[in-house]
A and B are shown apart, each in its own frame.
Chain A
Amino acid sequence: MLISRTLLVTFGLALAVGWVGSAAAYHTRFVADNCNYAAPTPTSVITREGSAAVALRARHEGYQWAGGCWNDNDRDDAPGDPTTDAGTGGEGGDCSGFTFKVWREALNTSDSSFQQWGMLRYVHGPYTAAAFKAGSGAPNVTVSKSALIKMDALASDGHIGLVYAVNPDGTDQIIEAKGEAYGTNIWTRTYRGSSSYSGVRRTGWSS
């Protein structure tokens, strides 16, 4: 009895110590096992509806700071990875990487062409949220927030989300990669009215 209790207690304590010690070095093989580095496919026809479909497929997937690769199983396959470490190899884009792929932009910031990346293509793109906010890059322009329409973006210095729908109370449904604890999904937000946020548009849509 005494032996089994001692074994149980020490096992439990050591389990905790082992977990805490390893958590600091959290990493996952999600990217290594699932993602690719294939070249994007250039495309001439690109619509807001098509971009919405790309964004919707990322719903319920994870968030990874500086990441840009996800699958389509409606769960974060690398939950809880430290938000301070860009190299954990976890699932999901961050807010700007998600926007880059949904807007199907090119790595070269002077190139405004459309590029299909595919959800398992591991790419973040060259833009931070602040860069999008400033309208940096050939494909991106700032626009008045009151003129924003579906799949335009609201960007602050630290975050960017895409307008998916408008609600009767004046809020927006925003599709966004919000954070590690949130993943990627549609939420009601009040970004449009906040002076922290600016309106940003990807140019060149086919319709």
Chain B
Amino acid sequence: MRPGKLLHRRVAVPVVGAVIGCAAGVASIGLGPAVAQRISPEPRAVFDATHLPPLLTTRNERPELAYDVHCSAGDDEGAEAGCDVRGAVFVRRAGRGSFERLALSSRTSNSSSRQLTARVPDSLSSQPGGFEYYAELEAPDLGERITVPAGGVEAPHTSRPLEAPVDVALGRHSFGDARRTGVRLALAAWGDGPAQFGLEQGRQLGAIGPSAFDVDAAGTVSVLDQVHRRLLRWRKGARDPIRVPLSIAGTIADLAVADDGSAYVLESTAEPGRNALVKRFDDAGRELEAIETAERTSSQIRMAQGGALVLGHPSHHWMPVTVGGVPASRGAQLRHGRAGRSLRSGGEIVLFRHANELRVAMISGRSVTRSWRLTSATSLAEVQLAEPIGQRLVLVVRLYDDEIDEFVVLTVDRKGLVDRFTLDAADWAETAPLSRFRLVGTSLYRLGSTPAGTFVDRFDLEVR
């Protein structure tokens, strides 16, 4: 080849490549959305149901099973037309016999629109071990059916009676009193530096900071800095964190760290048509597994004896993400769903908050071994944490009125309230919903935030 011709090719080829590449790059931006947005389908039918299961009842309570149903065949302008929904509840004594069919009757409630309801017969609701049930709802005009909970006959809801709960009356809460100061273990400012936490902010979007954390038995604190797609990990006593990059979505997520150091991340966003993923990473951040969760909304991930559990909705069931050591299919997750969260120490814990009352039961097998009934004259919001320490139970609950809120840390035993202190809400930045507290050994850890940054504090609880 002549030198001149070679020179021409050396100049011409990159120029041609650059021109085509630039054009393709620009086109990819412009055409991507343009192609996708051509799809403008007809509105589809809506059929959904929500149900708050009476997981724990008190003596002489006659639980009513109520299902809020939403059904619409037409477009938004036809939303008020609704559609016919019918169904039945199948009930039996917990763990025994065959399911009895109860027809659901329809009513319109001022508080929650259309409901299908059924009253559980006394012969079942008065059973010492409680009763199990599931509902099958049908919209004949749409040809659609829903089973609630989705595990149906294999994983029904269980309602358990509390025969002799320990009553704890919290009275009216005095905000700002009995505050306790913890030991600061980790602190990082907002920013994009190597030891700073990312902050997701935008127009019409509140501040979202590190969305979860966990602490292992050695005292290592791992904070999920999802904006930077990494963990910041403080070994016990360390001032500076180790960075562990993770392949995650970068949106709000929950975190649970296993005894072997692997980290489970529960995403809150998903690809179209899919549910959110649980991703497992090894200690160095290498992705080991990605498992699709079973239900539309998953709010928590926690470690149990057999692996990680995810709390799914609308079933309100804790479901394993692995069964027999292998990733669980959607069906397997649903079939293993339970209202109680299995504890690392064995047994289960069941929570039921209704208005200003919180009921908690420790379960062994099918029996309630210990239970508490807490009442408050101040509004109770979410239960951030409920973990046993020996024969005691530690609860972290948010108390609120329309102006102020704070967390109250309660330790209860077989006789009643043992210890109580409060913590400033310190929730300037949003996290995953129930990721602000962890209990390891006898230490309570909290993830807090202010306009300056995020911190992790430790509170050593009194144990006798």
Residue B114 CB within 8 A of the other chain: yes
Chain B residue at smallest Cβ distance from A81: B33
B34 touches A171 (CB 8 A): no
A64 CA / B381 CA spacing, docked (Å): 31
Please provide the chain B residues from 380 to 401 with a CB less than 8 Å away from any CB of chain A in the complex. Answer: 380-383, 397-400
Residue B164 CB within 8 A of the other chain: no
Contact of B297 among A77, A168, A186 (CB under 8 A): A186
A171 touches B204 (CB 8 A): no
**Interface band, chain B:** 35 or more
- Main secondary structure, interface of B, reads mixed
Question: How many residues of chain A get a CB closer than 8 Å to chain B's CBs?
Answer: 106
A91 CA / B29 CA spacing, docked (Å): 16
List, in ascending order, chain A residues with CB within 8 A of B111's CB.
149-150
List, in ascending order, chain A residues with CB within 8 A of B69's CB.
49
Residue A202 CB within 8 A of the other chain: no
Known: A164-B50, A193-B400, A194-B405. A52 touches B75 (CB 8 A): no
Contact of B17 among A11, A16, A45, A199 (CB under 8 A): A11
Contact of B314 among A12, A22, A53, A165 (CB under 8 A): A165
B25 touches A74 (CB 8 A): no
List, in ascending order, chain A residues with CB within 8 A of B207's CB.
158
A173 CA / B312 CA spacing, docked (Å): 11
Q: How many A-B residue pairs have CB under 8 A?
A: 303
Please provide the chain B residues from 55 to 114 with a CB less than 8 Å away from any CB of chain A in the complex. Answer: 55, 68-72, 75-77, 79-80, 82, 108-114
A165 touches B50 (CB 8 A): yes
A18 touches B202 (CB 8 A): no
A15 touches B113 (CB 8 A): no
B400 touches A19 (CB 8 A): no
List, in ascending order, chain A residues with CB within 8 A of B40's CB.
33-34, 71, 73, 120
List, in ascending order, chain B residues with CB within 8 A of A71's CB.
39-41
A49 touches B70 (CB 8 A): yes
A188 touches B381 (CB 8 A): no
Residue B268 CB within 8 A of the other chain: yes
B110 touches A207 (CB 8 A): yes
Q: Could you mark each residue 29-71 of chain A with 1 if its beta carbon is under 8 Å from any beta carbon of chain B, else 0?
A: 1100110000001010111111111101100100001100001
Contact of B316 among A9, A168, A207 (CB under 8 A): A168
Known: A11-B20, A189-B433, A195-B400. A57 touches B53 (CB 8 A): no
Known: A14-B18, A156-B206. A119 touches B29 (CB 8 A): no
Question: Within the complex, what minimum Cβ distance (angstroms) separates B224 from chain A?
Answer: 15
B113 touches A159 (CB 8 A): no
B269 touches A73 (CB 8 A): no
A168 touches B203 (CB 8 A): no
Chain A residue at smallest Cβ distance from B22: A18
B82 touches A169 (CB 8 A): no
A sample of 5 cross-chain residue pairs with beta-carbon separation below 8 angstroms, ordered by A number, consists of A145-B402, A165-B50, A171-B434, A173-B314, A193-B405
Residues of B whose CB lies within 8 Å of any CB of A are 9-10, 13-26, 28-30, 33-34, 36-44, 46, 48, 50, 52-53, 55, 68-72, 75-77, 79-80, 82, 108-114, 200, 202-207, 249-252, 268-269, 272-273, 296-297, 299, 313-314, 316, 339, 351-353, 355-356, 358, 379-383, 397-400, 402-405, 425, 427, 433-434
